[in-house]
Structure 1
Amino acid sequence: MRRWISEHPNAFQAWVLLVVWAVGIAALSSFGRSLGDAFFSSLFWVVVLGLSWYFTSRRLRRTASELEAHGQVLAYIRYPRSLPGSLSGIWNRGIATLAPGKIEFQPAVYDTLEPSGRATTFTVLAATQELRQLGREDSKYIGEPGFRSITLTTEKADVEVAATPASLQKILDAVIAPREPEATD
């Protein structure tokens, strides 16, 4: 069921809206409201919920297309083997700029992806090919639906990266790509 939901998010949202509408009609009519009043009251709230989902998904698509035009992706990172209380369990949101064998991560906040803090460049030595489903605890920090994660081994530490499956594939293609030889004097 979860796989179908992740493959068909719009169909799932439509079903949820229909169920919420039916439950709303039943609940309101059981509390003494007329059937017509219950019908239109629950319809109003279903429309509000549907519009909020629509505008959220439209914003996410627009952000993804703007970042893609610059060769970037929206991603979250964390350092799984760092000390407790640091970024071991908290995902840091930002923009990942991809280059062969490297990722530059710029922390960002808000829906406008306003930069916060300094950018960090990771030289990737290895990467897991398998996309990992995010757990319930991870969902507290990652608000976007459908995100998965991979682990990158860098020069300094392991870094976990969460993004959409398409963005993770771009990251894997970039970091596994053959590196250009560095200039020597």
Structure 2
Amino acid sequence: MRKWGELHPALRAVLVGVVAWAVILAIGLIVGASLEDAIANAVFYALMIGGGLFFLTKRFPTSTATLDDQDKSVMFLRFPHSPPGSLSSSWQRGIASPGPGRIDFQPALYEQLVPSGRSKALTGLRATDSPPRKANHHDHQQDVPLDFLVVVMESDGGVIEIAASPATLRKIQQDVGSTSS
């Protein structure tokens, strides 16, 4: 259903508007409003909800589809053994371009993935013995989605943690090397 909604944002907005209209109309009639008032409120709020959803979808398109076309992915990066005050405990969102034995990581801001800062080349990547784990509440506080997996890898620069979607981790596994997923 989610894929269908991404492919048809206008129809999704209409469907959400119709459902909102029915729910608001029913609530209005249950609480004792007149039929005209209940219909007017339902139409007003359905237009607000459906229209708001449509314009938000158009204003903030999903960037992942664009990245997939360019063979890039959204990824979070953390250096757990770096000195305090650096990226030892905080996740950095960015755009990853996996390649043979390396990942080119461009830090990015916000959900629109606006590039910021210098690009990092993570080279000499090797898998560790630790299995991937699901992102937890502490990771989610730093905007890592809860459906992302976190893997620990060794690189030429030391130990790194990567949080990414299962599909992105499979792509990294294919392009970079074996990470148990």
Asked if 1:59 is matched to 2:62, the reply is yes
**What is the CA–CA distance in structure 1 between the aligned matches of 2:131 and 2:59, rounded to whole Å?**
28
Q: Paired residue for 2:97?
A: 97
- Over aligned residue pairs, what C-alpha RMSD do you find? 3.9
User: Given the superposition, is the C-alpha separation of residues 151 and 27 from structure 1 closer, same or farther in structure 2, using an over 3 Å criterion?
Assistant: farther
Cα gap change, 1:128/1:52 in structure 2, threshold over 3 Å: closer, same or farther? Answer: farther
Paired residue secondary structure (1:95): strand
| CA apart distance, 1:107 | 1.5
Are the equivalent residues in 2 in contact too, given 1:129–1:172 (CA < 8 A)? Answer: no
Match of 1:45 among 36, 45, 48: 48
Matched, 1:171 2:177: no
Q: 1:124: how far off? A: 0.8
Q: TM-score, normalised by structure 2?
A: 0.66
**Gap runs ≥5 in structure 2:** 7-11
Q: Note closer, same or farther for the CA distance 1:119–1:58 as it changes in structure 2 (3 Å cut).
A: closer
Q: Percent identity?
A: 27
1:176: how far off? 0.9
TM-aligned CA distance change 1:126 to 1:61, over 3 Å: closer
User: Where do 1:106-117 residues align within 5 Å?
Assistant: 106-109=106-109, 113-117=113-117
Q: Partner of 2:170: helix, strand, or coil?
A: helix
Taking a change above 3 Å as real, the CA distance of residues 90 and 45 of structure 1, as seen in their structure-2 partners, is farther
Deviates more, 1:149-158 or 1:167-176: 149-158
Structure 1 SS opposite 2:54: helix
Deviation of residue 171 (structure 1)? 0.8
> Shift in Å at residue 169 of structure 1?
0.9
Alpha-carbon distance between aligned partners in 2 of 1:38 and 1:162, rounded to the nearest angstrom: 44
- State the match for 2:163 in structure 1: 162
Native 8 Å contact 2:64 2:73 kept in 1 = no
- 24 and 144 in structure 1: CA distance in 2 versus 1, 3 angstrom threshold: farther
Give the structure 2 partner of residue 135 of structure 1: 136
SS of the aligned residue for 2:108 comes to strand
Count residues in correspondence.
166
Amino acid corresponding to residue 115 of structure 2 in structure 1? P
Q: Structure 1 residue 94: deviation in Å? A: 1.6
Task: Look up the equivalent residue of 2:167 and give its one-letter code.
Answer: A
Tell me which moved more, 99-108 or 124-133: 124-133
SS in 1 for 2:125: strand
Question: SS state of the match for residue 176, structure 1?
Answer: coil
Whole-Å separation in 2 of the counterparts to 1:148 and 1:155: 22
Measure, in 1, the Cα distance between the counterparts of 2:126 and 2:75.
Answer: 19
Q: Distance in 1 between matches of 2:108 and 2:116?
A: 5
TM-superposed deviation, 1:121? 2.0
- Paired residue secondary structure (2:62): helix
CA distance in 2, matches of 1:173, 1:53: 35
Cα distance change of structure 1 residues 112 and 40 upon mapping to structure 2, 3 Å threshold = closer
CA gap of 1:53–1:137, structure 2 versus 1, over 3 A, is farther
Deviation at residue 46 of structure 1 after TM alignment: 2.7
d(CA) in 1 for partners of 2:112 and 2:61?
Answer: 14
Structure 1, unmatched stretches of 5+, are 1-7, 178-185
Residue by residue over 1:85-106, the C-alpha shift from the partner in whole angstroms, topping out at 9 and shown as x without a partner, is: 4323322122222222211212
Q: Deviations over 1:102-132 (max 9, x none)?
A: 1121212356644322222222121568543
